[in-house]
Amino acid sequence: MTVQDIILTLTNYWKEKGCYVAPTYDVEVGAGTMSPHTVFRVLGEKPYRVVYVQPSRRPTDGRYGENPNRVQKHFQLQVILKPAPEDGQKLYIESLEALGINLKENFLSFEEDNWQSPTLGAWGVGWQVMLNGLEVTQFTYFQQAGGVELSPVSLEITYGIERLALFLAKKDDIYELNWSDDVTYNDLRKNEEIQFSEYNFKEANIEHLKTMFKMYESEISNLIGKKLYLPAYDLALKLSHIFNLLDARRALSITQRQERILSIRNYVKEIARIYLEELENG
């Protein structure tokens, strides 16, 4: 099964379960959870089901295309089911079967792995789902987001697409995966990994990044003042990405890191507050 088949099969599977297929969000994020498709929509009471593919960027994970299973950009397939259904675990197991996995001939396990993002004021209780020791999914019942207790609780299922593809292809090198029958992951991504590793670790201009960080901060402050929480949130995502780049450049001392994390967290908190206010006021 090619990578694109996995994406199509899972997307279709969840579409059949009533999810709307959202287009990929077009701002850099570290995880599918950070997309507005999740962060905002798990708040409030309105039922919601979505499936979408989200590229996730983690600059420090870059390995110049040399490591067979670590990349600075990978793909997640994110599902949100709100409210969390009673048979969520069963639906998930069936989604793996839809990929042609015979679970009786493999070892599937749910290992405790609670998730929290202080930056998003969010936490959830859940598991990392392992197939023969390979983590292929995060399965989480969202408990809080934007510092607010969620009611109803949403179920979040995040598939690691490359991991699933490696599992299905019985390969241990990500670059050997077939994206389609005639395009490999190597063709599509190797050059990108090499170039971005160069950028993340060597070329990203530290002074510029620090300046950009300040500029975005000031933009966000202004937007928050105007209650324009959607663009404010986009820029908070930018801020987070710049922070990750600074981290990759090892440009921040521990105290400087802490300060910046706190700054992002405060903005996000403020943004969530405005969103909730608007939600309440209808």
* Binding residues vs other proteins (CB under 8 A): 63, 67-70, 83-84, 86, 89, 93, 103-112, 114, 125, 127, 131-134, 141, 143, 151-153, 166-167, 170, 172, 253-256, 258
Residue with smaller CB distance to other proteins, 35 or 146? 146
Query: What is the H or E stretch that residue 38 is in?
Result: helix 36-39
What is the C-alpha to C-alpha distance for residues 274 and 279, in angstroms, rounded to an integer? 9
Instruction: Find the largest Cα–Cα distance for the chain.
Output: 57
Q: How far is the CB of 137 from other proteins (least distance, A)?
A: 13
Q: How far is the CB of 69 from other proteins (least distance, A)?
A: 5
Phi, psi values for residue 67, rounded to 5°: -90, 130
Residue with smaller CB distance to other proteins, 170 or 202? 170
Residue with smaller CB distance to other proteins, 172 or 278? 172
Residue with smaller CB distance to other proteins, 112 or 181? 112
Q: How far is the CB of 149 from other proteins (least distance, A)?
A: 8
Q: Nearest to residue 48, comparing CAs of 62, 38, 58, 33? A: 38
Q: How far is the CB of 105 from other proteins (least distance, A)?
A: 5
What is the C-alpha to C-alpha distance for residues 28 and 57, in angstroms, rounded to an integer? 7
Find the length of the chain.
282
Q: How far is the CB of 172 from other proteins (least distance, A)?
A: 4
What is the C-alpha to C-alpha distance for residues 223 and 230, in angstroms, rounded to an integer? 9
What is the C-alpha to C-alpha distance for residues 239 and 236, in angstroms, rounded to an integer? 5
Residue with smaller CB distance to other proteins, 160 or 220? 160
